[in-house]
Amino acid sequence: MITLPQTFNVAAHLVDRNVLEGRGDKTAIECGEERVSYRQLQERTNRLGNALRRLGVRPEERVLLVLLDTPEFLYAFLGAIKIGAVAVPANTFLKPHEYEYLLNDSRARVALVSAALLPQLEAIPRERLRHLREIVVVGTGKAQQPGLHELMDAASPELEAEPTHKDDAAFWLYSSGSTGVPKGCIHLHHDMVVSSELYAKGILGMNERDRCYSVARLFFAYGLGNAGYFPLHCGATTILSPDRPTPAGIYADIERYRPTLLFSVPTNYAALLAHWREDGGEFDLSSVRHAISAGEALPAPLLERFRQRFGIEILDALGSTETLQMVISNRPGEVRPGSSGKIIPGYEARIVDDQGEPVPSGEIGSLLIKGDSTCVGYWNQHEKTKETFQGHWFRTGDKYYQDEDGYFWYAGRSDDLFKVNGRWLSPTEVESALIAHPAVREAAVVARDDESGLTKPAAYVVVNSNVSPTDEVRRELQDWVGQKIGSYKRPRWVEFLPELPKTATGKLQRFKLRELQAQENQEPSASK
């Protein structure tokens, strides 16, 4: 167990401590041509915290951050926490009605917004925002909106951290909404330290020589650790970019900034593998000592292709917004392709049946996690909190099984598994088989009833750019799966899509595929 003093402010720990320990001149953040030292990070965090106080923000009040991945995100996140307020990072890909929900649900008094995203908030009628008092713009905004840098310039560079308790709320993270309305997960001042010690240091061996590059954005729980508090906790350097990540841009950033740790999601690793240099050469990833994947299960074929092409082994891991970061992970040199790895020391895991009893090794059940970085619950969702958090245990909603060596294997979400011919079928197993085919870039599998009302697997496939989606390819993929993993797992239908529906954080939205199926099923009857 990690011991912290009762009076503890995590912003002071992440910023002031680095200066006190002699890293004031070390680069904390690189973003484009900008370099921010730890001493500059401290000063700007202090100025921002003082600016928020001048706007009337008090301890425990929420500050919504609708910010791109620039240094200002970290100034705002840490500045709010340092004055005892609660930082609430928001997905930067939302629509006005979704920001309206977040603003009213969080009761944020102040919103800090990147200029490029300001129109999304301005589209909301102000009278419908019951709690918001001020919108502050980062970048060039409209004259009537206060600018962040002007407020910071007018504020003091000195700021004593609010003497918060280690168990005070420090920030909220809204779940990505892959299964419904986003839920505000309440995280405490000690949570980021726990995740950093157990995973960043304990598994990755992160240290002050590391340079962290995350394809996942800072508003996402995964990205907030990768590019935010992990490197700051370890005295390392984070590399930020406000640009929307593309394979070409990511490769260019890796070659320019030479990160040692690359964090991404399976969808992006697939996109990177599908991208090649125009001159026929290879991209230089030699600086990367570890590549990390999370967000959804990493298919074994993707891991193998990446290792063969770049000589880098991807460390797949499992975490969630509720647990803040990783709780199960593959270790360097001990990767088992297709698995999520082993439980991280400091956390506990159980796999149980519908009655809550432990299942035997190799049997699928519901995954429960116990750990001190888990959020205290969902804001204003009492019943959902009681369903999800049971004593010390968090019900992840994931189906898993554990092998005799202690590795955990993902079998899908609780509502994803279905029976075919009386036997349970895991969509992820079929997806992994499909992705192993050289024609396939991505695949998703859901249940569909045939003409007799019997449940069969339906596959939605994105093929590589050099492949034409034909009936011949469809039959080839069906036969391929049947031969590799069994005839009853063979997709009864294969549909080709230009892309799969996903959240902004890269998680597959299976419910949208089910909705698509429902629409397709209704169309013939409507035309009769």
Mean pLDDT for 109-130 is 96
Express as a percent the part of the chain with pLDDT over 70: 96
Give the pLDDT confidence of 252-304 residue by residue, as tens digits. Answer: 999 999 999 999 998 899 889 999 999 989 999 999 999 999 988 898 999 99
CB 441 within 8 A of CB 269: no
pLDDT of residue 524: 46
Residue type, 62: R
Distance CA 508, CA 100 (A): 24
Please, is 311 exposed, middle or buried when counting C-beta atoms within 10 Å of its C-beta (0-12, 13-18, 19+)? exposed
DSSP string, 34-49: EEEEHHHHHHHHHHHH
Between strands 408-413 and 393-402, the pairing is antiparallel
Query: Which pair of tokens denotes residue 480?
Result: 């391929």
Please, is 97 exposed, middle or buried when counting C-beta atoms within 10 Å of its C-beta (0-12, 13-18, 19+)? exposed
Among candidates 166, 138, 174, which has minimal Cα distance to 51?
138
pLDDT band at 422 (very low <50, low <70, confident <90, very high): low
The arrangement of strands across the sheet holding 62-66 comes to 134-138, 110-114, 62-66, 86-89, 169-174, 184-188
pLDDT at residue 76 tops 90:
yes
pLDDT band at 505 (very low <50, low <70, confident <90, very high): low
Query: Which pair of tokens denotes residue 410?
Result: 């993902």
pLDDT at residue 180 tops 60:
no
Query: Which pair of tokens denotes residue 126?
Result: 């102000």
Q: What are phi and psi of 114, to 5 degrees?
A: -65, 140
Query: Which pair of tokens denotes residue 42?
Result: 């401290």
Q: At what angle do helices 427-435 and 300-310 cross, to 10 degrees?
A: 30
User: What is the overall mean pLDDT for the chain?
Assistant: 93
CA torsion, points 153, 154, 158, 163, in degrees to nearest 10? -110
| Integer angstrom CA distances of residue 378 from 130, 187, 340, 384 | 21, 10, 26, 7
Query: Which pair of tokens denotes residue 84?
Result: 């005892």
pLDDT of residue 178: 47
- The 8-class DSSP code of residue 341 comes to B
- pTM for the model stands at 0.85
Give the pLDDT confidence of 401-410 residue by residue, as tens digits. Answer: 999 999 999 9
Computed from CA positions of residues 96, 100, 101, 106, in that sequence, does the dihedral angle turn out positive or negative?
positive
CA torsion, points 437, 439, 444, 446, in degrees to nearest 10? -80
The kind and range of the H/E element at 136 are strand 134-138
**CA–centroid distance for 435 within its chain:** 22
Mean pLDDT for 75-84 is 98
Query: Which pair of tokens denotes residue 467?
Result: 């492949």
Express as a percent the part of the chain with pLDDT over 90: 80
Alpha helices (H) in 244-362, listed in sequence order: 247-257, 266-273, 300-310
Place of tokens 């079928």: 425
Give the pLDDT confidence of 332-343 residue by residue, as tens digits. Answer: 999 999 999 999
Distance CA 183, CA 322 (A): 10
Distance CA 44, CA 20 (A): 16
Please, is 520 exposed, middle or buried when counting C-beta atoms within 10 Å of its C-beta (0-12, 13-18, 19+)? exposed
| Integer angstrom CA distances of residue 339 from 316, 330, 334, 363, 405 | 7, 8, 11, 15, 11
pLDDT of residue 522: 61
pLDDT of residue 503: 76
Domains defined along the chain, listed by start: 10-16+34-188 (3.40.50.980), 213-413 (3.40.50.12780), 418-527 (3.30.300.30)
| Integer angstrom CA distances of residue 315 from 61, 303, 340, 497 | 38, 9, 8, 29
CB 326 within 8 A of CB 199: yes
CB 56 within 8 A of CB 133: yes
Query: What is the b/e burial string over 494-514, where b = at least 16 CB atoms within 10 angstroms of the residue's CB?
Result: bbbbeebbbbebbbbbbebbe
pLDDT of residue 487: 85
